[in-house]
Amino acid sequence: DAKTTQPTSMDCAEGRAANLPCNHSTISGNEYVYWYRQIHSQGPQYIIHGLKNNETNEMASLIITEDRKSSTLILPHATLRDTAVYYCIVRVKPSMDSNYQLIWGAGTKLIIKP
Amino acid sequence: NAGVTQTPKFRILKIGQSMTLQCAQDMNHNYMYWYRQDPGMGLKLIYYSVGAGITDKGEVPNGYNVSRSTTEDFPLRLELAAPSQTSVYFCASSYWGQGNEKLFFGSGTQLSVL
């Protein structure tokens, strides 16, 4: 089961910042948070990931709360091409003798409106 | 670099037929993965491989088999196709280490079992 909770859908005006929330209240200390997006049934695309500190790259910023129980992905200036399903994922280790895996939820459908 | 290449893009199978979905990557990644995605859902991990000759089950391995004879290739085999295997299949690869894994995905295979 997914270890994250996201809103099913969100709207954002073109040119504004899109803020996508994610709850991961059961996250463990060594589990990373990843964000991917999927544009219209294409293969998912990596956006950003983090452990404790806030992160920024050319695509987005990731803000992680101090208790690590939630995070927010920020697209600073949303464009129509940012319309996609955004997945917040926690990297987990299902058992002692298994490798780390990414457990995917249903994601947030972000619609950017002109 | 071509990245991750999947073939075929579309396939229709009859119940009980067998087929192999092909996946190849040219990024010298050690990890490779097979996911399936049902409509409106996130990705479910079928199998993954941490290197040539090493494979392991994911969340939903039943009805599938994999092999990894080379670093580049990671085929997925369906032996007795069932309607429940109708889905979009994504192959991915990554260089694994120190929590900096980024998955690179192929464009997917749309499979229908009738």
Residues of chain A in contact with residue B2, where contact means CB-CB under 8 angstroms, are none
pLDDT at A114: 95
Shortest CA distance from B49: residue in chain A: A99
Task: Give residue A29's pLDDT band: very low, low, confident or very high (50, 70, 90).
Answer: confident
Helix (H) or strand (E) segment spanning residue B11: strand B10-13
A107 in Cβ contact with A6 (< 8 Å): yes
Q: What is the DSSP string of A48-103?
A: EEESSS-EE-SS-EEEE-TTSSEEEEEETT--GGG-EEEEEEEEE-SSTTS--EEE
Q: Which residues contact B80 (CB under 8 A, 6 or more apart)?
A: B16, B17, B18, B63
What is the nearest CA distance from B80 to chain A, expressed in angstroms? Answer: 26
Q: Using the predicted structure, report yes or no on whether residue A2 has a pLDDT greater than 70.
A: no
Average pLDDT over residues A45-70: 94
User: CA–CA separation, A74 vs B81, rounded Å?
Assistant: 42
Q: Burial letters for B86-99: b for 16+ Cβ neighbours within 10 Å, e otherwise?
A: bbbbbbbbbebeee
pLDDT at B98: 55
User: CA–CA separation, B56 vs B43, rounded Å?
Assistant: 17
pLDDT at A1: 56
Taking an 8 Å cut-off on Cβ atoms, the answer to whether B48 and A101 are in contact is yes
pLDDT at B72: 96
Shortest CA distance from A32: residue in chain B: B99
Size of interface A-B (CB pairs under 8 A): 51
pLDDT at A55: 95
Q: Which of B4, B25, B91, B101 has the highest number of chain A CBs within 10 A, making it the mutation to test binding with A?
A: B101
Average pLDDT over residues A23-27: 88
Taking an 8 Å cut-off on Cβ atoms, the answer to whether B104 and A46 are in contact is yes
B7 in Cβ contact with B111 (< 8 Å): no
Task: Give residue A23's pLDDT band: very low, low, confident or very high (50, 70, 90).
Answer: very high
Q: Which of B36, B95, B103, B104 has the highest number of chain A CBs within 10 A, making it the mutation to test binding with A?
A: B103
* Cα–Cα–Cα angle for B42, A69, A112, rounded to 5 degrees: 50
Residue of B62 and A91 predicted with greater confidence? B62
Taking an 8 Å cut-off on Cβ atoms, the answer to whether A104 and B42 are in contact is yes
Whole-number average pLDDT of chain A: 90
Residue indicated by tokens 């369906």: B78
Q: Which ranges of chain B have pLDDT less than 50?
A: none
Residues of chain B in contact with residue A99, where contact means CB-CB under 8 angstroms, are 48, 50, 56
